[in-house]
Amino acid sequence: MNTTRVFDKMSAAWVSDPRYISSCGGTRSSKTYSALQLFIIALIGEESRGAAPTVNSVVRESMPHLKRGAIRDFQRIMKGDAIWQEARWSETAKTYTFGNGSILEFFSVDDAGKVFGSARDRIFVNEAQHIKWETFRQLAVRTRGLIMCDYNPTHSFWLNERIETKDNCITVHSTYNDNQYLTPEQVREIEDNRHDTNWWTVFGEGKVGTLEGVVYDFDIVRDLPDTSGMLETYGLDFGFTNSITAVVRCFIHKGRKDIYLDEVLDRKGLLNSDIADALRSAGVSRSSRIYADAAEPKSIRELETYGFNIVKCDKTSTADKHNPITAQISFLKTWHLHVTQASLNLIDEMRGYVWDTDRNGDRLNVPVKVRDHLMDAFRYGCYTPLARGGGQYHLSFGQTRHRR
Protein backbone atom coordinates (compact mmCIF):
# COMPACT_ATOMS: atom_id res chain seq x y z
CA MET A 1 0.00 0.00 0.00
CA ASN A 2 1.58 3.28 -1.12
CA THR A 3 1.13 5.96 1.51
CA THR A 4 1.95 9.67 1.70
CA ARG A 5 3.37 11.86 4.43
CA VAL A 6 -0.21 12.78 5.30
CA PHE A 7 -0.88 9.12 6.08
CA ASP A 8 2.13 9.11 8.42
CA LYS A 9 0.81 12.17 10.28
CA MET A 10 -2.71 10.74 10.57
CA SER A 11 -1.42 7.31 11.59
CA ALA A 12 0.56 8.87 14.45
CA ALA A 13 -2.60 10.66 15.56
CA TRP A 14 -4.66 7.43 15.33
CA VAL A 15 -2.38 5.41 17.63
CA SER A 16 -2.64 8.17 20.25
CA ASP A 17 -6.29 7.08 20.61
CA PRO A 18 -7.95 10.52 20.60
CA ARG A 19 -11.70 11.10 20.44
CA TYR A 20 -11.27 13.37 17.40
CA ILE A 21 -8.83 13.66 14.52
CA SER A 22 -9.28 16.80 12.42
CA SER A 23 -7.46 16.73 9.10
CA CYS A 24 -7.15 20.20 7.57
CA GLY A 25 -5.48 20.48 4.20
CA GLY A 26 -5.20 22.04 0.79
CA THR A 27 -6.08 20.51 -2.53
CA ARG A 28 -4.53 17.16 -3.56
CA SER A 29 -2.87 16.61 -0.18
CA SER A 30 -4.31 13.03 -0.01
CA LYS A 31 -6.14 13.65 3.26
CA THR A 32 -9.28 11.71 2.22
CA TYR A 33 -7.32 8.88 0.60
CA SER A 34 -5.11 8.56 3.69
CA ALA A 35 -8.09 8.48 6.05
CA LEU A 36 -9.63 5.61 4.07
CA GLN A 37 -6.31 3.73 4.11
CA LEU A 38 -6.27 4.00 7.91
CA PHE A 39 -9.82 2.66 8.20
CA ILE A 40 -9.00 -0.22 5.87
CA ILE A 41 -5.85 -1.15 7.82
CA ALA A 42 -7.75 -1.02 11.12
CA LEU A 43 -10.56 -3.22 9.80
CA ILE A 44 -8.21 -5.76 8.23
CA GLY A 45 -6.36 -5.86 11.56
CA GLU A 46 -9.61 -6.61 13.37
CA GLU A 47 -10.34 -9.31 10.82
CA SER A 48 -6.94 -10.98 11.24
CA ARG A 49 -7.24 -10.96 15.05
CA GLY A 50 -10.76 -12.33 14.98
CA ALA A 51 -11.92 -9.29 16.93
CA ALA A 52 -15.56 -8.54 17.58
CA PRO A 53 -17.17 -6.85 14.56
CA THR A 54 -17.40 -3.07 14.46
CA VAL A 55 -19.55 -0.62 12.51
CA ASN A 56 -17.67 2.13 10.70
CA SER A 57 -19.24 4.98 8.72
CA VAL A 58 -18.00 7.30 5.99
CA VAL A 59 -20.28 10.31 5.60
CA ARG A 60 -20.50 13.22 3.17
CA GLU A 61 -23.11 15.79 2.13
CA SER A 62 -24.57 13.80 -0.79
CA MET A 63 -24.38 10.38 -2.39
CA PRO A 64 -23.08 11.73 -5.72
CA HIS A 65 -20.15 13.29 -3.86
CA LEU A 66 -19.49 9.97 -2.11
CA LYS A 67 -19.64 7.97 -5.32
CA ARG A 68 -17.17 10.22 -7.10
CA GLY A 69 -14.92 10.61 -4.06
CA ALA A 70 -14.66 8.33 -1.05
CA ILE A 71 -16.36 5.24 -2.53
CA ARG A 72 -14.21 5.40 -5.67
CA ASP A 73 -11.07 5.87 -3.56
CA PHE A 74 -12.01 3.01 -1.22
CA GLN A 75 -12.48 0.62 -4.10
CA ARG A 76 -9.26 1.78 -5.76
CA ILE A 77 -7.28 1.11 -2.56
CA MET A 78 -8.86 -2.30 -1.97
CA LYS A 79 -8.48 -3.46 -5.57
CA GLY A 80 -4.99 -2.01 -5.89
CA ASP A 81 -3.83 -4.15 -2.96
CA ALA A 82 -5.76 -7.20 -4.19
CA ILE A 83 -7.92 -7.40 -1.07
CA TRP A 84 -11.24 -6.52 -2.70
CA GLN A 85 -13.88 -9.26 -2.71
CA GLU A 86 -16.86 -8.39 -4.86
CA ALA A 87 -19.23 -10.62 -2.88
CA ARG A 88 -18.61 -8.55 0.25
CA TRP A 89 -19.72 -5.29 -1.36
CA SER A 90 -23.40 -4.32 -1.37
CA GLU A 91 -23.98 -1.83 -4.14
CA THR A 92 -27.50 -1.16 -2.86
CA ALA A 93 -26.58 -0.51 0.77
CA LYS A 94 -23.12 0.91 -0.05
CA THR A 95 -21.47 -1.31 2.57
CA TYR A 96 -18.42 -3.58 2.59
CA THR A 97 -18.34 -6.47 5.07
CA PHE A 98 -14.99 -7.77 6.32
CA GLY A 99 -14.26 -11.37 7.32
CA ASN A 100 -15.08 -10.93 11.01
CA GLY A 101 -18.36 -9.17 10.26
CA SER A 102 -17.10 -5.58 10.60
CA ILE A 103 -18.68 -3.24 8.09
CA LEU A 104 -17.66 -0.02 6.42
CA GLU A 105 -20.76 1.87 5.31
CA PHE A 106 -21.09 4.96 3.13
CA PHE A 107 -24.06 7.29 3.46
CA SER A 108 -24.95 10.94 2.93
CA VAL A 109 -26.28 13.36 5.52
CA ASP A 110 -29.41 13.97 3.46
CA ASP A 111 -30.48 10.46 4.52
CA ALA A 112 -32.25 11.32 7.79
CA GLY A 113 -32.75 7.63 8.60
CA LYS A 114 -28.99 7.16 8.73
CA VAL A 115 -28.17 10.39 10.57
CA PHE A 116 -30.75 9.73 13.30
CA GLY A 117 -30.41 5.95 13.11
CA SER A 118 -28.34 3.33 14.89
CA ALA A 119 -24.98 3.79 16.58
CA ARG A 120 -21.51 3.01 15.25
CA ASP A 121 -17.97 2.53 16.52
CA ARG A 122 -16.07 4.96 14.28
CA ILE A 123 -16.97 7.63 11.77
CA PHE A 124 -15.15 9.57 9.06
CA VAL A 125 -16.88 12.84 8.15
CA ASN A 126 -15.57 13.79 4.70
CA GLU A 127 -15.50 17.48 3.69
CA ALA A 128 -16.99 18.51 7.02
CA GLN A 129 -17.20 22.18 6.04
CA HIS A 130 -20.30 21.34 3.97
CA ILE A 131 -22.16 19.68 6.86
CA LYS A 132 -24.19 21.59 9.45
CA TRP A 133 -23.21 21.54 13.12
CA GLU A 134 -26.48 20.00 14.27
CA THR A 135 -26.13 17.19 11.75
CA PHE A 136 -22.59 16.51 12.94
CA ARG A 137 -23.73 16.54 16.57
CA GLN A 138 -26.37 13.91 15.84
CA LEU A 139 -23.73 11.75 14.18
CA ALA A 140 -21.24 12.30 16.99
CA VAL A 141 -23.55 11.30 19.85
CA ARG A 142 -24.21 8.00 18.02
CA THR A 143 -20.50 7.23 17.64
CA ARG A 144 -18.83 5.25 20.42
CA GLY A 145 -15.21 5.70 19.38
CA LEU A 146 -13.08 7.70 16.96
CA ILE A 147 -14.52 10.65 15.07
CA MET A 148 -12.37 11.72 12.14
CA CYS A 149 -13.08 14.77 9.97
CA ASP A 150 -11.34 16.31 7.01
CA TYR A 151 -11.92 19.61 5.26
CA ASN A 152 -10.57 22.29 2.93
CA PRO A 153 -10.24 25.44 5.07
CA THR A 154 -12.32 27.70 2.85
CA HIS A 155 -13.59 29.56 5.90
CA SER A 156 -13.78 29.28 9.65
CA PHE A 157 -16.65 27.01 10.75
CA TRP A 158 -17.95 24.95 13.67
CA LEU A 159 -15.12 22.39 13.58
CA ASN A 160 -12.51 25.07 14.29
CA GLU A 161 -14.48 26.51 17.18
CA ARG A 162 -16.17 23.48 18.77
CA ILE A 163 -13.91 20.49 18.09
CA GLU A 164 -10.33 21.54 17.39
CA THR A 165 -10.27 23.47 20.67
CA LYS A 166 -10.89 20.26 22.68
CA ASP A 167 -8.06 18.55 24.56
CA ASN A 168 -9.03 15.19 23.05
CA CYS A 169 -8.68 16.41 19.44
CA ILE A 170 -5.53 16.06 17.34
CA THR A 171 -5.35 18.37 14.32
CA VAL A 172 -3.30 17.34 11.28
CA HIS A 173 -2.30 19.95 8.71
CA SER A 174 -1.29 19.06 5.15
CA THR A 175 -0.63 20.53 1.70
CA TYR A 176 0.02 19.18 -1.77
CA ASN A 177 3.72 19.02 -0.80
CA ASP A 178 2.84 16.13 1.53
CA ASN A 179 1.71 14.04 -1.42
CA GLN A 180 4.84 12.78 -3.14
CA TYR A 181 2.81 10.92 -5.78
CA LEU A 182 1.57 14.01 -7.59
CA THR A 183 2.92 14.38 -11.11
CA PRO A 184 4.95 17.46 -12.09
CA GLU A 185 1.97 18.53 -14.20
CA GLN A 186 -0.37 18.37 -11.20
CA VAL A 187 2.04 20.36 -9.05
CA ARG A 188 2.39 22.97 -11.79
CA GLU A 189 -1.40 23.21 -12.12
CA ILE A 190 -1.68 24.00 -8.41
CA GLU A 191 1.27 26.39 -8.24
CA ASP A 192 0.06 28.35 -11.26
CA ASN A 193 -2.57 29.81 -8.91
CA ARG A 194 -0.12 31.49 -6.53
CA HIS A 195 -1.20 34.88 -7.88
CA ASP A 196 -4.67 34.43 -6.40
CA THR A 197 -3.88 35.11 -2.76
CA ASN A 198 -7.11 33.80 -1.26
CA TRP A 199 -7.22 30.64 -3.38
CA TRP A 200 -3.57 29.95 -2.64
CA THR A 201 -4.07 30.40 1.12
CA VAL A 202 -6.86 27.81 1.19
CA PHE A 203 -5.99 25.28 -1.50
CA GLY A 204 -2.24 25.78 -1.82
CA GLU A 205 -1.14 26.34 1.78
CA GLY A 206 -4.08 24.61 3.47
CA LYS A 207 -4.70 27.55 5.79
CA VAL A 208 -8.07 28.92 6.84
CA GLY A 209 -9.17 31.43 4.24
CA THR A 210 -11.97 33.89 3.90
CA LEU A 211 -14.07 33.06 0.87
CA GLU A 212 -16.48 35.77 1.91
CA GLY A 213 -16.74 37.23 -1.55
CA VAL A 214 -18.61 34.31 -3.06
CA VAL A 215 -20.45 35.61 -6.12
CA TYR A 216 -23.63 33.52 -6.15
CA ASP A 217 -25.97 32.32 -3.42
CA PHE A 218 -27.55 28.99 -4.30
CA ASP A 219 -29.06 25.88 -2.80
CA ILE A 220 -28.65 22.23 -3.70
CA VAL A 221 -31.66 20.13 -4.71
CA ARG A 222 -31.76 16.35 -4.90
CA ASP A 223 -33.51 16.28 -8.27
CA LEU A 224 -34.99 18.66 -10.79
CA PRO A 225 -38.61 19.60 -10.04
CA ASP A 226 -41.45 19.30 -12.53
CA THR A 227 -40.06 21.44 -15.35
CA SER A 228 -43.21 21.64 -17.43
CA GLY A 229 -43.90 25.27 -18.22
CA MET A 230 -40.28 26.26 -17.66
CA LEU A 231 -37.92 27.53 -20.33
CA GLU A 232 -35.16 25.03 -21.07
CA THR A 233 -31.84 26.32 -22.42
CA TYR A 234 -28.20 25.23 -22.50
CA GLY A 235 -25.03 27.23 -22.01
CA LEU A 236 -21.77 26.13 -23.63
CA ASP A 237 -18.23 27.36 -22.93
CA PHE A 238 -15.60 26.01 -25.31
CA GLY A 239 -12.24 24.63 -24.21
CA PHE A 240 -9.63 22.20 -25.44
CA THR A 241 -6.09 21.37 -24.27
CA ASN A 242 -5.65 23.49 -21.16
CA SER A 243 -9.23 24.51 -20.49
CA ILE A 244 -12.51 22.73 -20.01
CA THR A 245 -15.47 22.46 -22.33
CA ALA A 246 -18.47 23.10 -20.08
CA VAL A 247 -22.18 22.65 -20.72
CA VAL A 248 -24.94 23.53 -18.26
CA ARG A 249 -28.63 22.75 -18.67
CA CYS A 250 -30.88 25.54 -17.41
CA PHE A 251 -34.57 25.52 -16.49
CA ILE A 252 -36.02 28.97 -15.93
CA HIS A 253 -39.29 29.78 -14.18
CA LYS A 254 -39.93 33.45 -14.92
CA GLY A 255 -42.89 33.87 -12.56
CA ARG A 256 -41.00 32.69 -9.47
CA LYS A 257 -37.62 33.93 -10.69
CA ASP A 258 -36.22 30.44 -10.17
CA ILE A 259 -33.34 28.99 -12.17
CA TYR A 260 -32.51 25.28 -11.92
CA LEU A 261 -29.06 24.22 -13.12
CA ASP A 262 -27.86 20.77 -14.09
CA GLU A 263 -24.29 19.96 -15.16
CA VAL A 264 -24.06 18.25 -18.54
CA LEU A 265 -20.37 18.35 -19.48
CA ASP A 266 -17.06 19.29 -17.86
CA ARG A 267 -14.12 17.85 -19.79
CA LYS A 268 -10.85 18.78 -21.48
CA GLY A 269 -9.52 17.80 -24.89
CA LEU A 270 -12.80 17.66 -26.80
CA LEU A 271 -13.06 18.26 -30.52
CA ASN A 272 -16.32 19.73 -31.79
CA SER A 273 -17.34 16.26 -32.96
CA ASP A 274 -16.79 15.01 -29.38
CA ILE A 275 -18.93 17.84 -28.03
CA ALA A 276 -21.68 16.89 -30.48
CA ASP A 277 -21.54 13.26 -29.29
CA ALA A 278 -21.67 14.38 -25.66
CA LEU A 279 -24.68 16.60 -26.32
CA ARG A 280 -26.53 13.77 -28.05
CA SER A 281 -25.71 11.41 -25.18
CA ALA A 282 -27.12 13.98 -22.74
CA GLY A 283 -30.38 14.04 -24.66
CA VAL A 284 -30.03 17.54 -26.12
CA SER A 285 -32.59 17.69 -28.92
CA ARG A 286 -32.53 19.60 -32.19
CA SER A 287 -35.06 22.06 -30.78
CA SER A 288 -33.13 22.78 -27.57
CA ARG A 289 -31.57 26.24 -27.74
CA ILE A 290 -27.84 26.33 -26.90
CA TYR A 291 -26.16 29.67 -26.14
CA ALA A 292 -22.43 29.32 -26.76
CA ASP A 293 -19.34 31.46 -26.25
CA ALA A 294 -19.51 34.17 -28.91
CA ALA A 295 -15.70 34.14 -29.20
CA GLU A 296 -15.88 30.79 -31.05
CA PRO A 297 -17.92 31.45 -34.23
CA LYS A 298 -16.27 28.59 -36.18
CA SER A 299 -17.11 26.07 -33.48
CA ILE A 300 -20.67 27.36 -33.27
CA ARG A 301 -21.05 27.00 -37.01
CA GLU A 302 -19.64 23.47 -36.98
CA LEU A 303 -21.99 22.35 -34.20
CA GLU A 304 -24.84 23.87 -36.18
CA THR A 305 -23.93 21.55 -39.09
CA TYR A 306 -24.33 18.62 -36.67
CA GLY A 307 -27.98 19.64 -36.32
CA PHE A 308 -27.95 21.61 -33.07
CA ASN A 309 -29.95 24.77 -32.44
CA ILE A 310 -26.92 26.76 -31.32
CA VAL A 311 -26.35 30.52 -31.37
CA LYS A 312 -23.75 32.85 -29.91
CA CYS A 313 -24.38 34.26 -26.46
CA ASP A 314 -24.67 37.96 -25.72
CA LYS A 315 -21.55 39.28 -23.98
CA THR A 316 -22.77 42.87 -23.78
CA SER A 317 -24.91 44.71 -21.26
CA THR A 318 -26.88 47.93 -21.52
CA ALA A 319 -26.55 48.33 -17.76
CA ASP A 320 -22.75 48.61 -17.90
CA LYS A 321 -21.04 48.75 -21.28
CA HIS A 322 -17.57 48.91 -19.73
CA ASN A 323 -17.99 45.90 -17.42
CA PRO A 324 -20.65 43.69 -19.03
CA ILE A 325 -19.72 40.45 -17.22
CA THR A 326 -20.27 42.04 -13.82
CA ALA A 327 -23.56 43.55 -15.02
CA GLN A 328 -24.74 40.15 -16.25
CA ILE A 329 -23.76 38.56 -12.94
CA SER A 330 -25.63 41.28 -11.04
CA PHE A 331 -28.73 40.54 -13.11
CA LEU A 332 -28.54 36.80 -12.44
CA LYS A 333 -27.98 37.36 -8.72
CA THR A 334 -31.55 38.68 -8.51
CA TRP A 335 -32.80 35.16 -9.34
CA HIS A 336 -33.10 32.15 -7.04
CA LEU A 337 -30.48 29.61 -8.10
CA HIS A 338 -30.86 25.87 -7.50
CA VAL A 339 -28.25 23.26 -8.45
CA THR A 340 -28.85 19.51 -8.67
CA GLN A 341 -26.73 17.53 -6.23
CA ALA A 342 -25.36 15.39 -9.07
CA SER A 343 -23.73 18.51 -10.57
CA LEU A 344 -20.52 18.02 -8.61
CA ASN A 345 -18.16 20.18 -10.67
CA LEU A 346 -20.75 22.93 -10.93
CA ILE A 347 -21.23 22.95 -7.14
CA ASP A 348 -17.48 23.09 -6.58
CA GLU A 349 -17.10 25.99 -9.02
CA MET A 350 -19.97 27.96 -7.49
CA ARG A 351 -18.53 27.52 -4.01
CA GLY A 352 -15.15 28.82 -5.14
CA TYR A 353 -16.35 31.55 -7.52
CA VAL A 354 -15.41 34.73 -5.70
CA TRP A 355 -14.85 38.41 -6.37
CA ASP A 356 -11.21 39.27 -6.97
CA THR A 357 -9.25 41.58 -4.66
CA ASP A 358 -6.37 43.98 -5.17
CA ARG A 359 -3.01 43.83 -3.40
CA ASN A 360 -4.53 45.65 -0.43
CA GLY A 361 -7.28 43.09 -0.06
CA ASP A 362 -9.97 45.45 -1.31
CA ARG A 363 -12.63 43.71 -3.36
CA LEU A 364 -12.71 44.40 -7.07
CA ASN A 365 -15.76 44.40 -9.30
CA VAL A 366 -14.67 41.33 -11.28
CA PRO A 367 -14.66 37.63 -10.37
CA VAL A 368 -11.46 35.61 -10.05
CA LYS A 369 -10.58 33.84 -13.30
CA VAL A 370 -9.95 30.41 -11.78
CA ARG A 371 -12.16 27.40 -12.57
CA ASP A 372 -14.97 29.41 -14.08
CA HIS A 373 -15.92 27.49 -17.22
CA LEU A 374 -19.20 26.16 -15.82
CA MET A 375 -19.88 29.61 -14.39
CA ASP A 376 -19.51 31.10 -17.85
CA ALA A 377 -21.68 28.39 -19.41
CA PHE A 378 -24.44 29.00 -16.86
CA ARG A 379 -24.31 32.74 -17.55
CA TYR A 380 -24.45 32.20 -21.33
CA GLY A 381 -27.44 29.88 -21.01
CA CYS A 382 -29.49 32.18 -18.77
CA TYR A 383 -28.60 35.81 -19.35
CA THR A 384 -29.07 35.97 -23.11
CA PRO A 385 -32.65 34.62 -23.28
CA LEU A 386 -33.75 36.47 -20.13
CA ALA A 387 -32.30 39.94 -20.47
CA ARG A 388 -31.85 40.34 -24.20
CA GLY A 389 -33.58 39.52 -27.46
CA GLY A 390 -36.23 42.22 -27.38
CA GLY A 391 -37.97 40.79 -24.32
CA GLN A 392 -38.51 37.36 -25.84
CA TYR A 393 -37.74 33.82 -24.83
CA HIS A 394 -36.06 31.99 -27.70
CA LEU A 395 -37.35 28.43 -27.77
CA SER A 396 -36.39 26.82 -31.06
CA PHE A 397 -35.65 27.53 -34.69
CA GLY A 398 -37.54 30.72 -35.44
CA GLN A 399 -40.01 30.22 -32.57
CA THR A 400 -40.41 32.63 -29.68
CA ARG A 401 -42.65 33.04 -26.71
CA HIS A 402 -43.29 36.62 -25.67
CA ARG A 403 -43.14 37.65 -22.05
CA ARG A 404 -46.37 38.69 -20.48
**What is the DSSP annotation of 300-357?**
HHHHHHTT-EEEEPP---SS-SSSHHHHHHHHHTTSEEEEETT-HHHHHHHHH-BEEE
Angle at 241 between CA 239 and CA 247, to 5 degrees: 25
Under 8 Å CB-to-CB from 380, ≥6 apart: which residues? 235, 236, 237, 291, 292, 293, 313
Residue 263's pLDDT is 97
Task: Confirm if 376 and 216 have CB atoms less than 8 A apart.
Answer: no
The per-residue pLDDT for 397 is 30
Query: Where does the pLDDT of residue 377 fall: very low under 50, low under 70, confident under 90, or very high at 90 and above?
Result: very high
DSSP state of 288: S
Write down the pLDDT at residue 392: 41
pLDDT at 394: 38
| Residue 398 scores a pLDDT above 70 | no
**Given the DSSP bridges, would you call strands 169-174 and 55-60 parallel, antiparallel or unpaired?**
unpaired
pLDDT at 40 over 80: yes
DSSP structure class, residue 156: -
- Residue 368 is predicted with a pLDDT of 78
pLDDT at 390: 35
> To the nearest whole percent, how much of the chain has pLDDT over 70?
93
C-alpha distances (whole Å) from 384 to each of 286, 320, 352 are 19, 15, 24
Q: Is the Cα dihedral 396, 400, 401, 403 positive or negative? A: positive
pLDDT of residue 369: 76
Question: pLDDT for 325-334, tens place per residue?
Answer: 889 999 999 9
- What is the predicted pLDDT for the residue at 402? 33
Confidence at 387, pLDDT banded by 50, 70, 90: confident
